[in-house]
A and B are shown apart, each in its own frame.
Chain A
Amino acid sequence: MAENKTVKFIISRQETPDSAPYTEEFDIEYRPNMNVISALMEIRRNPVNAKGEKTSPITWEMNCLEEVCGACSMVINGKPRQSCSALVDQLEQPIRLEPMRTFPVVRDLQVDRSRMFDSLKKVKAWIPIDGTYDLGPGPRMAEKKRQWAYELSKCMTCGVCLEACPNVNSKSDFIGPAPLSQVRLFNAHPTGELNKAERLEAIMGDGGITNCGNSQNCVQSCPKGIPLTTSIAALNRDTTFQGFRNFFGSDSI
């Protein structure tokens, strides 16, 4: 029989959104190349904690398992990231798992990221192409610009940047870096640009861009390497001009 190597997990648990969180320890049998999700699946298969007591399986969210959907974000050893791409071999043990408490906790490691999707609606993070008649093909986008925009489009609304931001909390309405960067993406699109002023005015409203305090944790934490602080600074310039246009007047509406 091979050596029985185990991996220790300390997992933050919570039965309901309002109940008090507590931690539970688990010893999982080591397998080569395992990630955090495979360990959680192992607990689900055999829900027994480190004391040998039978317990309920851990609740968490997952979908794509290849770091493009953003659903499985959680705080792993103090840093928010995706549990699918968190490899056990690269983590310090014991491995501590916590939910991203910036969001309402649903149960255990599952959080409700609805506020991010509401923010995307608020800033109109889409390109309106519907009409009562065929609007025809839109203008072409230069290939170089498409490649540039592709980097911004990698955002998967995972919530890591909101978790890392000191200004996203219960004391403020700040919508956070992710939806702001989406405004830059859609304003850069030749058709999306038609609604540029609307999006800028949305982020000049309550909880908008001005809540950014330049801690720049977001750009350090983004798993997709999106230049979030560059987006915010670029939008700072755009909103400055939009503010001048609104106050002093301009023909470029």
Chain B
Amino acid sequence: MAGNREFFYRRLHSLLGVIPVGIFLMQHLVVNHYATGGAASFDKAANFMGNLPFRILLETVIIFLPLLFHAIYGLYIAFTANNNVGRYGYFRNWMFMLQRVSGVITLIFVAWHVWETRIAAAFGTEVNFQMMENILSSPFMFWFYVVGILSTVFHFANGLWSFLVSWGITITPRSQRITTYVTIILFVALSYVGISALVSFI
């Protein structure tokens, strides 16, 4: 097993991006969507999530540890590539480059987002509709969140495509092409869920 570290880490990286981090992302965006129903509706949902039993344990095992591993190992992967879309402007090569760029943007966005909400909550700030309304009242922060959400959703949708290839699920060019379409639809759908929630805070 000693010689297989890289294989193991890389496959773990691919798996964690989908399970649990990708699943958590979808759940998070869906819960946020309660904001479109008004402040009371969002606060009720946020309260339910925030008061789940074993919350700290769930957060640590399902979110923080997998996310931390995925982020740190992902940075290493991103910086070992020599991007060459200038010479080879093929669709998949662009996706390869954008996957790395969106990964870095997402890391910056998520780090800021966790600092501003979850860490703030740990120091006693209450997470509610009002908090997000305050954050997003600044146009800069609103656009920062728009870019952050789109980048995160792209990274997840395109990462799901690579996950299917990396684990040997989609082998034929046809299956890979069809999953490209499916992941594009997923990108559009999740972007809608995320951005519509974001807009309802302002």
Contact check, B81 vs A208: say whether CB atoms are below 8 A apart. Answer: no
CA distance A217 to B4 in the complex (A): 26
CA distance A17 to B10 in the complex (A): 34
Interface segment, A50-58, A59-67, A143-151, A164-172? A164-172
Contact check, A217 vs B84: say whether CB atoms are below 8 A apart. Answer: yes
Contact check, A210 vs B84: say whether CB atoms are below 8 A apart. Answer: no
Contact check, A237 vs B168: say whether CB atoms are below 8 A apart. Answer: yes
CA distance A137 to B88 in the complex (A): 46
CA distance A221 to B80 in the complex (A): 21
In the assembled complex, which residues on chain A have CB atoms less than 8 Å from the CB atom of B168? 233-240
In the assembled complex, which residues on chain B have CB atoms less than 8 Å from the CB atom of A210? 6-7, 10-11, 166
In the assembled complex, which residues on chain B have CB atoms less than 8 Å from the CB atom of A227? 173
In the assembled complex, which residues on chain A have CB atoms less than 8 Å from the CB atom of B83? 166
Judge if B186 is at the interface, Cβ distance under 8 Å: no
Chain B 60-97 against A: per-residue CB contact (8 Å), 1 yes, 0 no?
Answer: 00000000000000000101111110011010110111
- Checking B77, B79, B88, B90 against A213 with a beta-carbon cut-off of 8 angstroms, the contacting residue is B77
Judge if B1 is at the interface, Cβ distance under 8 Å: yes
Per the CB 8 Å criterion, the residue count for chain B at the interface is: 36
| Majority-rule SS of A interface residues | helix
Contact check, B3 vs A215: say whether CB atoms are below 8 A apart. Answer: no
In the assembled complex, which residues on chain B have CB atoms less than 8 Å from the CB atom of A167? 80-82
- Chain B residues close to A by CB (< 8 Å): 1, 3-4, 6-8, 10-11, 77, 79-84, 87-88, 90, 92-93, 95-97, 99, 161-162, 165-173, 176
Give me 16 other A-B pairs in contact (C-beta within 8 A), A79-B87, A169-B81 excluded: A164-B84, A167-B82, A171-B79, A171-B82, A201-B4, A210-B7, A212-B166, A214-B161, A215-B90, A230-B171, A236-B166, A236-B168, A237-B168, A243-B4, A243-B11, A246-B1
- Chain A residues close to B by CB (< 8 Å): 78-79, 164, 166-167, 169, 171-172, 201, 204-217, 220-221, 227, 229-230, 232-240, 243, 246-247
A-B contact pairs, 22 of them (CB 8 A): A164-B87, A164-B88, A166-B84, A166-B93, A166-B96, A167-B80, A167-B81, A167-B82, A171-B79, A171-B82, A172-B80, A210-B10, A214-B92, A214-B96, A215-B88, A216-B96, A217-B88, A217-B92, A230-B171, A234-B171, A236-B171, A246-B4
